[in-house]
Amino acid sequence: MYTMQSIIRRGMNNALTQFERLGHVSNNLANYTTTGYKTVSFEQMLNEDGYLTGAIRTDYKNGSIKVTSNPYDVALTDKGFIPVVSPDGDIAYTRDGAFKQGKEGYLVTSDDWMVGDGIKIPANCHKFTIKPNGEVFVYDAIDKPARKIGTIPLVTFDCPEGLKQAGMNKLVPTEESGDAILVKNPDCFAQNNIEVSNTNIFNSMTDILRINASMLASTKMMKVVDDMYNKAINIREG
């Protein structure tokens, strides 16, 4: 049975659900320029009782590859994640390959998490290269042969949708995602490149306009029902 109170409750629930969806879309737009960022969506579902619910989904589709002049930059052209280790020993995973050389010479993320098990690039080397399989070689001088100093690992998960956001463009595994699985003989590392966000700015702007219109309609409906409810109470008291 529908009552005015239930209509108001349902309207409030639906407005709050739309507001949550708006937050995810806004966050996608805010990360439009974030390297390797993956779009997060809030898929709405209308229950039989008229209440809106939703599920959070992450789109792990590859973003476009952008050429850079930084030899520390690495893009992944296929599925997978790069393990990184914090100064405290915490392990996370990322697709943000905007790396740099840390204070001790190690290849690190922009916020100083070590890449893989630790790849130390000599400060006085002539140049270094990152092969498509993740192997890192350095040339000590022009006339010296290359020598391998390490490998950037690549891992996958049985259910990447289950990965949990850990901030700073990093992810951590959960029971749903399963443990990391090391990829053998990868062929997807691209030096001097970065993967840009896969957020579609035009779709996101369209979603914001639609959500805003839906929220306005929900709040107006609640206002109409609330006015009717107050009038009914006044008639009864009169």
List pLDDT tens digits, range 135-184. Answer: 999 998 877 889 999 999 999 999 999 999 888 899 999 999 999 999 99
Q: What is the pLDDT of residue 232?
A: 63
| Position 101 pLDDT exceeds 90 | yes
Confidence grade of residue 3 (pLDDT, cut at 50, 70, 90): low
Strand boundaries in 48-87, DSSP class E: 52-58, 65-67, 74-76, 82-85
Query: What's 169-215 look like in SS3?
Result: CEEECCCCCCCCEECCCCCCEEECEEECCCCCHHHHHHHHHHHHHHH
pLDDT above 70 coverage of the chain, percent: 89
pLDDT value at residue 108: 96
Q: How confident is the model at residue 100 (pLDDT cuts 50, 70, 90)?
A: very high
At residue 151, the pLDDT reads: 97
List pLDDT tens digits, range 200-214: 999 998 988 888 887
* Of 93, 65, 197, 71, nearest in space to 154 by CA: 93
Residue 46: per-residue pLDDT:
73
